[in-house]
Structure formats: C-alpha cells, structure tokens
Chains A and B, each alone.
Chain A
Amino acid sequence: DVKVTQSSRYLVKRTGEKVFLECVQDMDHENMFWYRQDPGLGLRLIYFSYDVKMKEKGDIPEGYSVSREKKERFSLILESASTNQTSMYLCASSSYGGNSDYGYTFGSGTRLTVV
C-alpha cells in the first residue's frame, strides 16, 4: 500500500524551540508539499518541492523552512516555534504526467502544540 508517513502524530513543543517535522513517501514521487490546516481556514500551503534540493515558497512560508536532501524525504522546520504555529501539519506527495492525475497523497498529519 502506497504511503506518506509523517514521523509524529502528536507533538508538544515549547516556544522558541527548533522543531523538525519529517515526512517520507514510498511512491517515488517527484513532488512533495507541506500544508497547515486550521479550523475555518482550510489547507494552506507552506512550502513545496519539485525535486531533490529544490524548494519553493507557498502561501504562508514565514517562520518555516524546508529541506529535501533525498527524493523520498521532505522536512519542515520551525526555526523558533511560536504559539501561533499550533496547528495540524499535513505532508503530501504527487507525481503528475501522462494520462493519469490522482492528485496528492496525504500523510495522516502531525498535530503540533506550542506552549
């Protein structure tokens, strides 16, 4: 079964800590994405990557950075966690081309609480 795996389901971190959220996919997908999900705001794109070592800003990149050293792994980094970064974080991957478009495959999410 194809999968996007996020390393933690729940995390509690302190304000000012550096936080790493890890995501691994086993589908050999080129594209990977990080979203945050908040009630009433839907899915907001933080960063995405179309290839190893490539990254592009999404709609809300402030306070975040990413790393993609290997094709299967995409890490989201909160340089100095703040309470307004308390949220559900979703990783997704995709491969687009040919006649099929199955959209994104999402991980189960990491619920991050910053105290």
Chain B
Amino acid sequence: GQQLNQSPQSMFIQEGEDVSMNCTSSSIFNTWLWYKQEPGEGPVLLIALYKAGELTSNGRLTAQFGITRKDSFLNISASIPSDVGIYFCAGRKAGANSKLTFGKGITLSVRP
C-alpha cells in the first residue's frame, strides 16, 4: 500500500537544538496527523491538522498542513532527552471512514 515519505530514517541532535521533520506525498490529503512512539509503547497522537496552511502548536511542537495538501511539517524546539522516539506522520484522504496512510517514521535521538 501507499506510504508517505519521511526521511531520513534516523536523526541525531544535541539537547537544546531545534529539529524539523517533513512528510511528503504525491497525493492530496484532507487531514494530517503526527504521532510519537516511545520505546516499548504504541504511537500517541501529538497534533492533528485539518486545513491547508494550518499551523498548530502543542507545547514545544509546531506542525503545519502544507498549502498544496501534499505535505506536512513538524518542528520540535529546544529539544530535551524525553523527545527521543519515533515520529510518524499520517494522512487521511477525503471520504468517510477512509483509512490513514502512514510514513515509515523518523527515529529521533537526543544527546544530552
């Protein structure tokens, strides 16, 4: 099945740095979501975006729904060690009950 494009597979940053991740597709999506998965746990929803151009924050996290509706961005500011985990993007196309399409995820490591 189709997957969204997330790269690189892994990112390594220093504590205190900002980090940006993007998620791209060749298709249009109506909803974009960002999840975080901590080691040994299931993914947890961080931010949901519903409208092209929308910018939404959740604490140190900010995400944007791309104008073309084919991409989304997540920014984490002033990273801390507990930001480590796998960050997944997901998109949903138009149509009631359409399934989510996921990216493969980016594993973030934060060096103290």
Candidates B33, B40, B97; contact of A109 at CB < 8 Å: B40
**Stretch among B42-50, B58-66, B74-82 lining the A interface:** B42-50
Residues of A within 8 A of B (CB): 4, 9, 31, 33, 40-43, 45, 48, 50, 58-59, 90, 92, 94, 96-97, 101-109
Which 9 pairs, one residue from A and one from B, show the smallest C-beta to C-beta distance?
A106-B42, A42-B104, A59-B1, A103-B33, A43-B102, A101-B31, A106-B43, A108-B42, A96-B97
How many B residues face the partner with a CB closer than 8 A? 26
B92 CB-CB contact with A under 8 Å: yes
Knowing A31-B97, A101-B50 are in contact, say whether A109-B41 is a contact too (CB < 8 A). Answer: yes
Q: Is the CB of A109 within 8 A of B42?
A: yes
B99 CB-CB contact with A under 8 Å: yes
> Measured between alpha carbons, how far is A42 from B44 in the docked complex, in Å?
15
A-B pairs with beta carbons under 8 Å apart, 6 shown: A40-B9, A42-B3, A42-B103, A43-B102, A101-B50, A105-B45
Knowing A103-B35, A106-B42, A108-B41 are in contact, say whether A45-B1 is a contact too (CB < 8 A). Answer: yes
Count: A-B pairs, CB below 8 Å: 61
Q: How far is the CB of A68 from chain B (nearest CB, A)?
A: 15
Q: Is the CB of A102 within 8 A of B45?
A: yes
Q: Which residues of B contact A59 (CB under 8 A)?
A: 1
Q: Is the CB of A43 within 8 A of B88?
A: yes
Q: How far is the CB of A101 from chain B (nearest CB, A)?
A: 5
Closest to B9 in A: A40
Closest to A42 in B: B104
Q: Specify which of A31, A40, A103 lies most central, judged by the most chain B CB atoms within 10 Å of its CB.
A: A103
B85 CB-CB contact with A under 8 Å: no
Q: Is the CB of A48 within 8 A of B99?
A: yes
